[in-house]
Amino acid sequence: MNKPIAIIAGEPNSISSEIIFKCWKLKKKYIHKPLFIIGSVQLLNLQMKQLKYKIKIKKINKHFKIRDLNEIELPVYDIDYTQKKPFEKISSKSNKYIFKCFEVALKFVKDKKILGFINCPISKEYLFKNKHQGVTEFLSKKLNKKNNNEVMLIYNKKLSVSPITTHIPLNQVSKKINQYKIVEKVKIINNFYKKFLNKKPNFAILGLNPHNFSISKKSEEKKIINKAIKSLVKLKINAKGPVAPDSSFVIFKKYKFDVIIGMYHDQVLSPFKALYNFFAINITLGLPYIRISPDHGIAEDIVGKKIANPNSLIESIKFFNYIK
């Protein structure tokens, strides 16, 4: 069965609806699985009028069939939500609606009705407040997992990156990295590449300190990272390092690295985004399903201006072609 993918409409007062409309308009230019949107039909129609798009929407229910997801009308599983204006100031008002969208997507996953889902950008500040660090952590907590081995993989077919720690303050990083966490997360990425991309990846494991140097005899490189790399090599995983962080993105082509593993979020995401910008996607691994999101935020400053770039959402949709 050719299962579809679901796209959660995300934060209502963001660029989410605009990039959805643009992707739908461009759908004939890229190969994709059948798909549908989880969101408010009323709001999508209101925003469509504001953005001057003409797209027919088709409501679907939980009993939908693949034949209902045609290329003519945009299929939408309707979640009740209304607001007076097409775009309003972002607030916590939409939280219940967004959580309901996730709830529906997770039920479809559980019932094996979809391959996985994409969530359009959300505001972590308003949606999660202090309860979760991000969508990756939120979805992991929904499974009540003890080990929290969820993995944030920022993917591009030329190079991917993954931080061992995610959305935490920089002064907590050294306390949160350990040998077990590095080994387990690299194993998950390695298995993902082999299963879905038919490739045994080459990993660059970065150090934590500048130039991998510390005057301390118990530096993170010596007491944690070196040991993790040795464990990975014993598992016949292609891991090299510790690689100096400041040169890793200069030498990755020379050494044919497929994945760069960083110790913290901005260590790898900042240079990666400078290289690939909107041609990257955020994949959550370590879950019993595939969850992807565009690798950008809500772009509050350009909402309603019709200048949002849809490429990361298009790349997210295209990635599901690898999933059977």
- From start to end of 80-119, where are the E strands? 116-119
Contact by Cβ (8 Å): 297, 278: no
Instruction: Look at residue 229 and tell me whether its pLDDT is greater than 60.
Output: yes
Candidates 3.40.50.1970, 1.10.3080.10, 3.40.718.10, 3.30.70.360; CATH matching 1-143+287-324:
3.40.718.10
Contact by Cβ (8 Å): 247, 260: no
- The top-scoring range by mean pLDDT among 120-124, 148-152, 306-310 is 306-310
pLDDT tens for residues 84-139? Answer: 999 999 888 888 999 999 999 999 999 999 999 999 998 877 777 766 667 777 87
Name the segment(s) of the chain with CATH classification 3.40.718.10: 1-143+287-324, 150-283
Mean pLDDT to the nearest integer, 174-193: 96
Chain mean pLDDT for the chain: 91
pLDDT tens for residues 1-37? Answer: 589 999 999 999 999 999 999 999 998 888 788 999 9
Sign of CA dihedral 86, 80, 23, 13: positive
pLDDT of residue 93: 87
Secondary structure class of 248 (helix, strand, coil): helix
Sign of CA dihedral 303, 306, 312, 318: positive
Candidates 3.40.190.10, 3.40.50.280, 3.40.50.720, 3.40.718.10; CATH matching 150-283:
3.40.718.10
Mean pLDDT to the nearest integer, 194-208: 95
d(CA 137, CA 104): 18
Better pLDDT: 116 or 219: 116
Residue type, 268: V
Residue in 262, 279, 283 with CA at minimum distance from that of residue 152? 283
